[in-house]
Structure 1
Amino acid sequence: MTTKFYDRLSNDLTQLLENPIDHNVIIEVGEAPINQIFKAHSYILQSRSTYFKKRFNETLFNVKKLKIPNISVKVFNSIIKYIYGGTISLEKLESSIIFDLLIASFELDLDELVEHLQTHLVTNNASWLKLNFAQVIQKSYHKNFEIIQNFCNNIIAKNPDTIFESENLNSLPEDVLISIIKLDDLQLEEDKIWDYVIQWGRARNPNVPANLNEWTSDNFLTLKTTLKNCFPHIRYFNISSEQIIEKFYPYQQLFEPKLWSDINIKLLSHNKPISSTILPPRKIISSNLPTRTIRIPSNIISNEHALEILSWICRKETPYTESNPYEFKLLVRGSRDGFDVKNIYEICDKVSNTVIVLKVEGTGEIIGGYNPLEIRNNINRKYFYSKDSFVFSLKTENLKNSIISRVKDFNRAIYYYSSMQYLDFGSALNLRDNLKAQKNSYYGILNYEKPIHSNEDVFSVEEFEIFKISPLK
């Protein structure tokens, strides 16, 4: 039997890192002014990472000097401790730092750490992954990121509009798009998948005419070349004859002659054999699959946040999880319409059932409130009655669970004072003046059940948005 003294070994090697006797490597990490020098030992680094082994083979000096500007000091500090001591502590790290740590670990060929960090993020930081879905999907489509990819694919398969109706579709790398359209359980009609693939391809070739009738043979050849790796994953023989005529015929020059012939044979005689590969139909969960779901037009909150807010509005005991029965119509966005409270009164005058969300400057907090009443411009110093208003603080990487605080003094639920640029939810959330330029807004505790913030701090915002909430028709 072999006795393994790993704890002592880890501690001794960590001490060697903290007091780098006989070091022969100097690593400059980060970019000035936030950079730092680490002193290390080449034998330890290259025995733990093929990245360093390759780098050291490129350097012939006795003392090797490396620069790694694309990894932050905070991230590399965790990595070097893992390399020396085999330990990693994630409890006090923000989700964004853990994700950066994952990307850096991949770049440094630390496969064991890559797997561990993926599992940790999916298990403990799923909300952050969903909120930052575009960033995650852009950076994580590598063969070593199978755990994160499965997480993303599961979301996309069930909610394809997450990516196909987003502004990020056209910027997806080809391998990411292919991995998505290969999914057997992608809950999207095949003709719509075709539409999105064509949209992606046309976006890659902005010089082709917008009007298809003006296309030349060269235009079709250009698009065919762009999409050649995507086409094998379209399930051509699972599209109705009507959709073939509507969607395929305008683009028939994109098809290889044999495939185009087989599509037409199947169109005319469904049972006649063909030589082209027939992919199986996708596993659609419901035959009544809606053609599209509602995507929240927000730069602050995720669909998950929106469903949580809707659950509070409807006072549901079981929260909404996927199906969104309401529309979020964007009325005001600070970066678009200005940050003065007076703009809220002017744009939203006589509009009821609104939700305001605010991203607090410097902390990343997402706070806000639901106002069922009409917003009233030219009303000065007056409280209004409501039994249904509430304020909230939403779950983020720094807040494990969302907080909702409902009104308890119904007569003092909402306070309007437009000429002074005051808009208050009782005294629980008080919006003042220019929300971005001035740090005059503040949290309170009166008139609502509980505070949504531990301190009655003043704050300014990085961004804010107001939505009109309406049932889908």
Structure 2
Amino acid sequence: MATQFYDRLSNDLTQLLESSINYDVSIEVEEDANIYKVHSIILQSRSPYFKKKFDEITFNDDYVKALKLTNISVKVFDVIIKYIYGGKIILEKLENSIIFDFLIASNEFELDELVEHLQTYLVNNCASWLRIKFAQIYRISYQVKSFKIIRDFCNNIITNYPNTIFECENFNSFPEDALISILKRDDLQLEEGKIWEYIIQWGKAKSPMLPTNLKEWTGDNFLTLKETLKGLLPYIRYFSISGEDVIKKIHPYQQVLDQQLFLDINIKFITPTKPIVSTVLLPRKILNTKLPKNTSILLPSNIITDEHALEISSWIDDKETSYIKNNPYEFKLLVRGSRDGFHVKTIYDVCNKVSNTVIVLKVENTGEILGGFNPLEWINNISQLKKTQGSFVFSLKTENLKNSILSRVVEKFDCAIANHPKHSWLGFGDALCLRNDLKIEKKCYCMVSSAYPKLIRSEEFISPEVNNCSDISKKFLFSVEEYEVFKILPGK
């Protein structure tokens, strides 16, 4: 039996990389123009990509081959090159987004074992992040065929929770082949009539010149939609659609279907036993047991993860330890900045007379996730300070913050909530205040607050107490990259 000394080998090769002795390749990573002096024999023996590249490049006068790499960061390439030499990676200290970029680069460099390992790591350790970035991740997983592990992860979510895709903001831009793969699934947990509606929506979005009012459509308009949908239409289970949906949903778009198919749908509906010509696809295997609506996979957020939601829920229930699973609450999305607008007036208009709301926001440039819970109603026509002992503000755990910070209202309960629509201002005392347009105008702030004494940001970002917000130094003001407001409902 052979004795293996892999650690020593790894260390020696890593030292060779660091020393650059006898290097014959210089790789310039265009971000900051970093130059890596490396050895062609090692790179081409480890990576088919580099073998092909080096075969295409001739030596310069110094007997060095020069290569420029674009679309890769120094941070990612640094991990890649150390893996190539030493066969080691440490992922725990890397941001999730960097790990995913690392995966994409590993695939480009044809590092097969690394591609498989990184996918497994992301699915097992970064599932919440994958869900937040679901539309983007899913699209990439279908563009890159070797991302099978992530693609299977996404398909499992789509099968059981199809709204994750069909109701996402980017649904209308989804590639056709990805939608076909979803429609082919026998276990897609969605009524066929609803699937038809989503496909029509997708097709109409591809042809924005079509009239908005269906009554104004011409035969040519229907032909345009039919041509757009020709790759998707064969995978609809038409004969599983209810009679009511045939009348309401299929009939208005009958010209999109072949004449014989539409005739057979009607025959099957009116005379079920009469033979038909069209191919009949088997009904989908819909589960008898309904999946819980408050499952973490369905969390409708682009900011917080399911773990964040569980933590917030435990704070609402005043638990000493966070819920781990089975969230007792449903987070119903009411407002999202990128969808509905960033002005505070929008929050007041949509959330008027709505109680038990959570506001979460991502701070521009810092990546911090701040927020607050208000058990009282927001009122859009009265400016007042409101009294409660149930509110709190927080800063959620991120890649840069090890543990979340919770600050409950402990005194000055009559100033716990600042409800000031007239001045386009809302706040949790002075601990977290949102003003005007949250994205364009840099006017949000956190101030030292006796009502919420525990600071939710580093002291360098907290304004000392002042009488008027106009007196706050500009260095304490911030804008918002994104925000969301949720209505907290009992779980179903």
Q: Which residue of 2 aligns with 1:469?
A: 487
State which drifts further: 231-240 or 345-354. Answer: 345-354
Matched ranges for 1:16-415 at <5 A: 16-31=16-31, 34-61=32-59, 63-141=64-142, 142-256=144-258, 259-260=261-262, 262-272=264-274, 276-286=278-288, 300-301=303-304, 305=308, 309=312, 312-313=315-316, 321=326, 325=330, 327-330=332-335, 336-338=341-343, 352-373=355-376, 378-379=383-384, 385-399=387-401, 402-409=404-411, 411=413, 414=416
Question: Alpha carbons of 1:417 and 1:375: their partners in 2 closer, same or farther (altered >3 Å)?
Answer: closer
Matched residues in 1 for 2:213 and 2:182: separation?
Answer: 28
Residue type of the partner of 1:16? L
Task: State the 1:356 CA deviation.
Answer: 2.8
TM, length-normalised to structure 1:
0.81
More deviation, 453-462/120-129: 453-462
In structure 2, relative to structure 1, the CA distance for the partners of 1:195 and 1:338 (3 Å cut) is: closer
The 3 A distance-change label for structure 1 pair 176 and 101 is same
Residues of 2 paired with 1:250 and 1:348: CA distance? Answer: 36
Give SS of 1:467's match: strand
Partner AA of 1:47 in structure 2? S
Write the deviation string for residues 99-130 of structure 1: whole angstroms up to 9, x where unpaired.
11111212222221111111111222222222
Of the structure 1 ranges 362-371 and 243-252, higher mean CA displacement relative to structure 2 is found in 243-252
**Equivalent pair of 1:407/1:413 in contact (CA under 8 Å):** no
Contact 1:353–1:469 (CA<8 Å) still a contact in 2? yes
Whichever residue aligns with residue 329 of structure 1, its letter is L
| RMSD of Structure 2 on Structure 1 (CA) | 4.1
* 456, 461, 477: which one aligns with 1:457: 461
* Aligned-partner SS, 1:140: helix
Residue 132 of structure 2 contacts residue 301 of structure 2 at CA under 8 Å; is this kept in 1? Answer: no
1:258 and 1:338 map into 2 onto residues whose CA distance is 52
Alignment partners' CA distance in 1, 2:337 and 2:214: 36
What is the alpha-carbon distance in structure 2 between the residues aligned to residue 205 and residue 433 of structure 1?
A: 39
Q: What stretches of structure 1 of length at least 5 have no aligned partner?
A: none
Alpha carbons of structure 1 residues 280 and 2: separation in structure 2 relative to 1, 3 Å: farther
Q: Is the 8 A contact 2:333 2:484 kept in 1?
A: no
Contact map agreement 2:132 2:302 (CA 8 A) in 1: no
Paired AA for residue 202 in structure 1: K
Are the structure 2 counterparts of residues 165 and 311 from structure 1 closer, same or farther at C-alpha, using a change threshold of 3 Å? farther
Bigger drift between 38-47 and 270-279 goes to 270-279
AA in 2 matched with 1:161: N
Distance 2:239 2:349 in 1: 54
Tell me how far 1:58 sits from its aligned partner. 3.0
Asked if 2 retains the 8 angstrom alpha-carbon contact of 1:51 and 1:108, the reply is yes
Query: Is the partner of 1:207 in helix, strand or coil?
Result: coil
Shift of 1:196: 0.9
Instruction: Provide the rounded CA distance (Å) in 2 between the counterparts of 1:277 and 1:334.
Output: 41
Distance in 2 separating the partners of 1:73 and 1:467? 37
Residue 90 of structure 2 aligns to a residue whose secondary structure is coil
What SS does structure 2 have at the residue aligned with 1:88? coil
Q: Which amino acid aligns with 1:360?
A: V
Cα deviation for residue 274 of structure 1 reads 5.0
Q: CA deviation at 1:161?
A: 2.1
1:241-294 Cα offsets, whole Å, 9 max, x none, are 232233333333433466445434433443455565443322323476899999
Structure 1 position 13, deviation (Å): 1.8
The aligned length equals: 465
TM-score (norm. length: structure 2):
0.78
Separation (CA, whole Å) in 1 of partners of 2:166 and 2:112: 31
Query: Residue 213 of structure 1: CA displacement?
Result: 4.5
- Please give the alpha-carbon distance, in whole angstroms, between the structure 1 residues aligned to 2:74 and 2:124: 26
Deviation at 1:174, TM superposition (A): 1.5
Question: What is the CA deviation profile of residues 347-389 of structure 1, one whole-angstrom value per residue up to 9, with x for unaligned ones?
Answer: 988875443323223321111111223568655xx7x542211
Which amino acid in structure 2 is aligned with residue 76 of structure 1?
F
User: What is the SS of the residue equivalent to 2:92?
Assistant: coil
Structure 2 unaligned runs (5+)? 463-475
**Further displaced range: 101-110 or 344-353:** 344-353
Paired position in structure 2 for 1:9: 9
Deviation digits for residues 177-206 of structure 1, max 9, x if unmatched?
Answer: 222223333221111111111211222222
**Shift in Å at residue 97 of structure 1?**
0.8
CA distance in 1, matches of 2:294, 2:264: 30
Looking at structure 1, the residues matched to 16 and 273 of structure 2 have their Cα atoms a distance apart, in angstroms, of 73
* Other structure's SS at 1:330 match: strand
Task: Judge conservation of contact 1:26–1:38 (CA < 8 Å) in 2.
Answer: yes
